[in-house]
A and B are shown apart, each in its own frame.
Chain A
């Protein structure tokens, strides 16, 4: 179970790393792109920034959901 959890963790980590990396590189090498306002008068800087924070909360919730069936070290019960 440990390896299953850590595999899920690494996959989600990689997804987040790519999205975060995208934000950082966009800021560093195309800062003018952050000023575009595609949705509801909000610019990319605000949308992407909020997206990263809310995305982190959602991904962590997803991880907790996917790992839920893991047994605690002391529990010997078979899983359904």
Chain B
């Protein structure tokens, strides 16, 4: 699909960015102290802080990633919504109030509240940086991906644009401006998603044979004999030749037929659906192909990519093949009917297969897969989650491990934890978490409607699942599309500014200020934090450009695993176990971080997606990809064992410090 420059999106985006920067500069006059820079003077009202939690937390992965995943595979993406929200229960019931009570600027403060140990600050500071950088990369790459279709700018320009705006937001007024940007973004995201959901329900369902460009995909019923005769007719088509299977296509898992029109000389690929009983007529459904040429060009369905004559673009997809009771249209549906009708319908989903040719070009063939609604609404269709239907025990453990990491990860993310220091007391911390849960929960309920709405919108781009939500909006209304696209940008801005601020706090407050004992007065500390923000922002820009061609959405999952393994054991144990020692915390953070990171780097997922290895030739070293189920308990175990081993030294040290 070719995206034209949308002036409406440019206007919306400019208004948002202009307003945000104006607000930052205005607020920046008031936030000169380190108290202001790191914690907004603890003066943010709890309701604003609660919505800002939503703005901080609902990253591009939540909005674009989950919607896209649901739009292409059904229910599975919603498992992320459920896990991400469940993590907030840990944050509210276990972490929120003590976090506020014990800390000042960073979560390392809370861990270190009993010990005043540079070692703890060092370990916690490094883990903050590691988690934040993991989280930053997909956000920055996402910014570049968004900019290409909307503002018609190259990828790097999007990354630089977002990076620069975020650095300005953070440097001008630190936590004060970051909070208000996140508040704005949280409000807009939830509000517009609700409008979009309402429009989906009003529109209802309709049976179609193609997407919203008006192209009708052809379906032929043929016998095996039809494919071998050469009278130019095939099923209901006339004047076509069946071509011999081209080079490379003989090794595909699915089977395909190439048909050439005798008049236009154009070739179309059809996917062969084998009949249930042999000898019955078979069905051919029209497929689409994208060929990557050696010079970087693209052929779409055999023609050069473009919108001119003798050029082609991928046709949009996303439609129902049938509705219950033979209906062709439903009219408006209720939020419950939405699922009960879809449950009994048939959806045309598309799957793809890659074909490597001898001349190093690569063809991706997209073919239709008619799927009952009951399968769309059940877990286990996406490759990431298909393990739950596997017989292998390790596949099931992998799923449990992911769901555990999502559950434990939220309350261990440094950029979320620093938001507990922006309110005045524990009860505000609690209330803002409740507001956060309500708004985030409401949004996650909407994700299932948005994703399934996109699945049936007729607007999906086969080559880019991240664009499902914006394209859904485009199918409704171009102004809505502009607004949603601009919000997607602000989504990146809000989350990235939180991450950069958390990293700057780790560098200036934890590492330089405490771990390395650099003496700084308040002004110097703010200056160091601002310099760190610029440096971290610059690193994020570089990484966002370098990782451009990599599928990076799984990095968010890694960030959750590392955060949960490194930080959660110490956070929980310092609250509930009086015998925790300094050495216990330091070792637990280091062991949790190194083990989860090491596990990830040795996993099948990394072998395949990061190093580009063939798993059949070099099998992964660890038995499943998600580390959480091993490394989170390992972190707890390490903490307990090391603490028990160092009890005596702890006492003498506390006595020497004048403690009891």
Contact = CB atoms under 8 A, between A and B. Distances in A.
A43 B343 contact: yes
Interface string A34-58: 1101001111011001101110110
Interface residues of A, number: 43
Contacts of A43: 339, 343, 374, 377-378
B574 interface: no
Contact of A27 (B399, B425, B431, B441): B399
Given A16-B86, A53-B85, A60-B433, A45 B441 contact: no
A9 B89 CA distance: 9
Interface stretch (B92-100, B237-245, B353-361, B652-660): B92-100
A45 B427 contact: no
A25 B403 CA distance: 10
Contacts of A35: 374, 378
B130 interface: no
A25 B298 CA distance: 45
Interface residues of B, number: 51
Contacts of B427: 67, 70, 72
A40 B379 contact: no
Contacts of A40: 336, 340
Given A37-B343, A60-B438, A31 B380 contact: yes
A52 B340 contact: no
Interface string B80-95: 0110011011101110
A16 to B, nearest CB: 5
A34 B379 contact: yes
A42 B377 CA distance: 9
A63 B400 contact: no
A58 to B, nearest CB: 10
Interface string B383-416: 0000011000000100110011001000000000
Contact of B86 (A6, A20, A31, A42): A20
Interface in B332-354: 336, 339-341, 343-344
A64 B92 CA distance: 10
A55 to B, nearest CB: 9
Contacts of A37: 340, 343
Contact of A46 (B339, B403, B407, B430): B339
A56 B437 contact: yes
B378 A31 contact: yes
Interface in A1-48: 2, 5-6, 9-10, 12-13, 16-17, 20, 23-25, 27-29, 31, 34-35, 37, 40-43, 45-46
Nearest to A23: B82
Contacts of B421: none
B113 to A, nearest CB: 14
A64 to B, nearest CB: 5
B82 A60 contact: no
A73 B86 CA distance: 29
A64 B437 CA distance: 12
Contacts of A31: 378-380, 388-389
B426 interface: yes
B448 interface: yes
A42 B97 CA distance: 38
A13 B93 contact: yes
B86 A52 contact: yes
B194 interface: no
Contacts of B400: 24-25, 28
Contact of B81 (A2, A42, A53, A61): A53
B434 interface: yes
Which 5 residue pairs of A and B lie closest in terms of their CB atoms, listed nearest first?
A41-B340, A9-B93, A13-B93, A60-B437, A24-B403
Interface of A: 2, 5-6, 9-10, 12-13, 16-17, 20, 23-25, 27-29, 31, 34-35, 37, 40-43, 45-46, 49-50, 52-54, 56-57, 59-61, 63-64, 67, 70, 72-74
24 contacts: A6-B98, A9-B93, A9-B97, A10-B93, A13-B90, A20-B407, A24-B403, A25-B400, A31-B378, A31-B389, A34-B379, A35-B374, A41-B343, A43-B374, A52-B86, A53-B444, A57-B438, A57-B441, A64-B431, A70-B426, A70-B427, A72-B425, A72-B427, A73-B425
